[in-house]
Amino acid sequence: MSTSSPLAACAPSEERILIIYTGGTIGMEVSPKGLLPSGHFDQRLDQALARLPLAERQQLPVFDLISYPTLIDSSAATPATWQHIATDIDARISDYRGFVILHGTDTLSWTAASLAYQLQGLDRPVVLTGAMQPLEVANSDALENIQGALHFAAQSALQEVVIYFAGQLLRGARAVKQHTEAVDAFTSPNYPRLGERVEEDFVYYPSRGLSYQQRGAPRFELPDYTPFAQGEVIRVSLWPGIAAWQLAAWLNDVRVRGALLQLWGAGNITDDPDIMSVIATATGEGKLIAAISQAPQGSVHLGAYAAGHDLVEAGVLSGDGMTPEAAYTKLVHLLAQPLTESARRQQFVTSLVGER
Ligand code: ASN
């Protein structure tokens, strides 16, 4: 399904934005079971835009909109969904000056981080947004988020995957959902915002964006993520009293190829040799294991405390100050490619898209 904004017919396609609607609260409608993803978003968006003051409407960049045939609540997204969206952007990359992905907020930051790794060297904006309230609800945040996303998607200086939400522009590989209800549901704990809405202007701060030296020439990496929808990479957050047998139940499974551990504070783990032995056995078998903190801000410094020192010797990679989203999707991305184990380990600790 494809539709265009009223002005799109007069604009060459390379001056347009492509909106890809995947589902999420932004387009949901009430059903007897609760909110459900709903279609005809093109017509519904037209109606909403028609209610804007003429001056605001005229300033919006022209766009086309495609809607996925199966719309999802983003809690149903898997690595296969991330791959699908990246492939769709790749197929149309030279036809549009920028892209807006309308996505549910629950896993929006996961998709954003994954897209950043798949679309390396991106030379135009890919802006993800969604909403905490459906488009038609009174005082919904949906229309403002779409407007902002469109404005940033038209800024050619912006050349990376970002999230626009509630007036803030955040790096996709640095953002997390921080609130279940508030309109400003996203934050970027370890990196400043890349831009923001200042009254009627949408201001990008280029000094915070990915420079050409950092991102390099376009070299999209679009490996097959399908196997990872079956859970080949796991995520374990420590809790007081965690036992070796519990960790082993996941890490020893032959289907598991990678793991993200969320440690205490600056990178500490329970002082239990059996736990360390489970981890060392897994890395010895070639499993890619990385560690970040459970604390939302700051970095891990493996080895700063005796309680974390053995992790380095057990082959655990430092995830530095990466978000869980950025660390997990990076493990998936590296494992999906035909790389040697040492290349994977080396790339994990290198900043590929400004994620660390
Ligand atoms: N459950 C919804 C989703 O992630 C939440 C939202 O979009 N605000 O699809």
Best residue among 33, 105, 176 to mutate for probing ligand 1's pocket (most ligand atoms within 8 Å of CB) is 105
Question: What pLDDT is stored for residue 4 in this prediction?
Answer: 54
Per-residue three-class SS string for 76-142? HCCHHHHHHHHHHHHHHHHHCCEEEEECCCCCHHHHHHHHHHHCCCCCCCEEEECCCCCCCCCCCCH
Cα gap 337→296, rounded to integer Å: 29
Claim to verify: residue 268 and residue 199 sit in the same structural domain: no
Whether 356 is covered by a domain: the verdict is no
Active site residue 105: yes
pLDDT digits (tens, 9 = 90+) for 66-108: 999 999 999 999 999 999 999 999 999 999 999 999 999 999 9
- The mean of the pLDDT values for the chain is 95
Claim to verify: residue 16 and residue 165 sit in the same structural domain: yes
Q: Which structural domain range is residue 334 located in? A: 229-348
Choose one of 213, 243, 258: the last residue of a domain: 213
Claim to verify: residue 94 and residue 174 sit in the same structural domain: yes
The pair of three-digit structure tokens given for residue 307, joined into one six-digit string: 């309680």
Cα gap 136→117, rounded to integer Å: 34
Claim to verify: residue 170 and residue 80 sit in the same structural domain: yes
Question: What pLDDT is stored for residue 12 in this prediction?
Answer: 65
User: What is the whole-number distance in angstroms between the Cα of residue 73 and the centre of ligand 1?
Assistant: 6
Claim to verify: residue 105 and residue 208 sit in the same structural domain: yes
Whether 354 is covered by a domain: the verdict is no
We report the CATH number of the domain holding residue 172 as 3.40.50.1170
Phi, psi of 203 (to 5 degrees): -105, 125
Closest-lying ligand 1 atom to the alpha carbon of residue 72: 9
User: What is the whole-number distance in angstroms between the Cα of residue 237 and the centre of ligand 1?
Assistant: 23
Does 75 contact ligand 1 (Cβ within 6 A)? yes
The ranges of the chain with pLDDT < 50 are: 1-2, 6-7
Question: What pLDDT is stored for residue 303 in this prediction?
Answer: 79
Whether 260 is covered by a domain: the verdict is yes
pLDDT digits (tens, 9 = 90+) for 302-351: 978 887 889 999 999 999 999 999 999 999 999 999 999 999 999 999 99
Whether 237 is covered by a domain: the verdict is yes
Residue pair 133/139 in contact by the 8 Å Cβ criterion: yes
Amino acid occupying residue 292: I
Nearest CA to ligand 1 atom 7: 104
Choose one of 213, 237, 253: the last residue of a domain: 213
Does 207 contact ligand 1 (Cβ within 6 A)? no
Does 105 contact ligand 1 (Cβ within 6 A)? yes
Claim to verify: residue 208 and residue 160 sit in the same structural domain: yes
Number of domains in the chain: 2
CA 50 to chain CA centroid, nearest Å:
31
Claim to verify: residue 190 and residue 278 sit in the same structural domain: no
Question: What pLDDT is stored for residue 1 in this prediction?
Answer: 46
Choose one of 183, 213, 243: the last residue of a domain: 213
Whether 262 is covered by a domain: the verdict is yes
Does 130 contact ligand 1 (Cβ within 6 A)? yes
User: What is the whole-number distance in angstroms between the Cα of residue 129 and the centre of ligand 1?
Assistant: 11
Handedness of CA 65, 69, 71, 72 (dihedral sign): negative
We report the CATH number of the domain holding residue 281 as 3.40.50.40
Residue pair 96/154 in contact by the 8 Å Cβ criterion: no
